Amino acid sequence: MPRFEDLPYRPCVGVALFNRQGRVFVGRRKGPAPEHVDASHAWQMPQGGIDPGEEPLATARRELFEETNVRSVTLLAEASEWFAYDLPQVVAGQAWRGKYRGQTQKWFAFRFDGDESEIDVLRPGGGHHKPEFEAWRWEDLHATPGLIIPFKRGVYERVVEAFRPFAHPV
């Protein structure tokens, strides 16, 4: 069994979806919160793993659709760096069959150009994907680090810094 420190990071993307008021989409994770997370930290922005041979931008668009049903977007920016976080070791042993120590994420900012009726977290991906969120709302970007599970907070702080220029009405 490899040491935790020797495990690789799972390649992933994250999406900051901004509305016209400069607020970002957050979804509340579906199902009971794991024992290391309280209900107030069950909110997050869309994210997901990169499939073999898939480009990060294509992954971001795919994951956004699969988790929110949203396709009406304009790309605003791509974070210049990959942001990584470690899972707590007890969680890492359960998640992804213990193959990864955490995730390294390429983040993208999009402007939502559609009508809110397009957003459907209960029938995401046109109803072809299992829901990951049970509720959603628009939130101030600067508040998102306080909503995410604590071990991802550092990544969200970096996302806030990277995408602060888009957190205003257009």
Identify any residues that bridge with 103 across adjacent strands, giving them in sequence order: 10, 85
Domain boundaries, the chain: 4-166
User: What is the distance in angstroms between the CA of the first residue and the CA of the last residue of the chain?
Assistant: 52
Q: Class for domain 4-166, per CATH? A: alpha beta
CB neighbours of 88 closer than 8 A, spacing ≥ 6?
36, 151
How many Å apart are CA 59 and CA 81, to the nearest integer? Answer: 16
The residue count of the chain comes to 170
pLDDT at 105: 98
pLDDT at 142: 98
- Whether the CB-CB separation of 159 and 83 falls below 8 Å is answered with yes
Q: What CA–CA distance (Å, rounded) separates 19 from 116?
A: 9
Bridge partner list, 138: 25
Torsion sign over Cα 67, 68, 69, 71: negative
Dig out the tokens for 87 from the structure.
């899972």
pLDDT tens track of the chain, all 170 residues? 678 888 999 999 999 999 999 999 999 998 755 555 667 788 999 999 999 999 999 999 999 999 999 999 999 999 999 999 998 887 777 777 788 999 999 999 999 999 999 999 999 988 888 999 999 999 999 999 999 999 999 999 999 999 999 999 99
